[in-house]
Amino acid sequence: MTGSPATSRAGGFGAGVLWVGAGIGVYGLASFAFLALCAQALGDGPGYTALALLWTLLNAIGIGLYLPVEQETSRAVSGLRSRGLATAGAVRGPTLYAAGSLAVVAVVLLVGNRWFRDALFEGVRGMTALFAAALLGMAVAYLARGVLGGTGRFPRYGVQLALDGGLRIAGVLVLTALDVRSPVAFGAVLAAAPLVSTAAALLRSGPLLERAPRAPRAAVGMRALVAASLASQLLANAGPVAAQLLASPGESETTGQLVNALTVARIPLFLFAAVQAVFLPKLAAHVARDERVSFVASLRTAVLLTSGIGALGIGATALVGPRAVRLLFGPGFDVERGVMVVLAVSAVLFMVVQVLVQALLARGRDALAIAVWCAGLAGLLLALIPSLDLAMRVSLALTAGSGAALLVAAVALRHALTDWTGARAAQPTVHDTPLAGTVGSGHISEESS
């Protein structure tokens, strides 16, 4: 039996992972470079703080809201194609959700424009509108990547990610060469890059979806995906937002410092994306074939590799973290070594939680996955109560939140595995290769054909 259309177009599972992995790598490094170049251009002040908050909110709200659009679109398109059905109906639900959520966010931002501007964006005019525009760009990019992933066009998928990252760097370099010092101008790069890169990736792609007189409308179970995604991204990016809201007048620069410190402390996330791409797709396949033993073995390997990567990251952060921040972002940005080590620990805990949550989702335990991230958010909020130095207070809160999420995830996963009696060992077959499901944030979910 031959592979699925998605597989044959991409050149197989391995080739798909390579294209996606390369795109994620370029995009991740470009995001890192974007912040460093902006810090060098804007310096340590209100302008950079406003831009850093925009970047943080896009990661928290944008990814939380629109990564599920990619996941559901890719899964639905791939599923219809594997059955030889028209795929146009698969994008209706995700598109309507994206449009509706953008409208709601736009209304909220319009009504609360003054509060957002003063409380989060250091009073910089235009940043709230720019936030809405950048969310639109993210929604379009995630929808397009869902279609590209679902139809097996992984080279174009990787190109879109790489172009998005490359355009960010190019935009900052052009603005710096022109001696532009407006945070709004640098923020506009974040809004334009996903739109331009998506258009370029889709150029001359030919028809991506097949229509039928009565194209089936795919069922869109996005509520759990959105809730879990949004809660996880809020936990991951709550630190700088909390610092901005809790900062006293003399601590106004702490937010930008924390964004820079988090960026350096979370460098292991780039390697973690590779672990997700290789191991997490196997989990759904093991569930589909009722292979409990193989499922647990793959999960254990992913946790061990993630922990190993994280341990190396903590060690490197302890050794050179503060120096790296000053070197990359400028001498005006200085973060205590203890703060950076605590942030690195929080990053490792968060990565392990992500692995366990993916296992819960593979077992169909959506409610438990949401409960994990909600427990993390609750732990973070409780840990913000003690009155400490702001940077250390927020860092410890991030660690406490990820720790609470890890505890709940471990208990939930043990419960999810207890009632699974399947013990059939994995048998390599030609059905193991088709690449389907979701591709996003460094992982590709696989469905058996």
Domain end marker among 194, 214, 234:
214
Does residue 13 sit in the same domain as residue 69?
yes
DSSP 93-139: HHHHHHHHHHHHHHHHHHHTHHHIIIIISTT-TTHHHHHHHHHHHHH
Query: Is residue 106 situated within a structural domain?
Result: yes
Does residue 174 sit in the same domain as residue 268?
no
Domain end marker among 173, 196, 214:
214
Does residue 134 sit in the same domain as residue 205?
yes
Return the closest-CA partner of residue 397 out of 333, 441, 349, 337.
Answer: 349
Domain containing 63 equals: 1-214
Query: Is residue 430 situated within a structural domain?
Result: no
Query: Is residue 229 situated within a structural domain?
Result: yes
Domain end marker among 214, 229, 255:
214
Does residue 169 sit in the same domain as residue 254?
no
100, pLDDT greater than 90? yes
Question: How many domains does the structure of the chain reveal?
Answer: 2
CA atoms within 13 A on the CB side of 382: 12
Query: Is residue 4 situated within a structural domain?
Result: yes
Does residue 313 sit in the same domain as residue 210?
no
Helices (H), 180-267: 183-202, 222-246, 254-265
User: What's the pLDDT tens digit per position in 185-242?
Assistant: 999 999 999 999 999 999 887 667 666 545 444 444 677 778 888 999 999 989 999 9
User: What's the pLDDT tens digit per position in 227-276?
Assistant: 888 999 999 989 999 998 888 877 777 888 888 898 888 888 766 765 66
Query: Which one is predicted more confidently, 88 or 15?
Result: 88
Q: Indicate the pLDDT class of residue 73, thresholds 50, 70 and 90.
A: confident
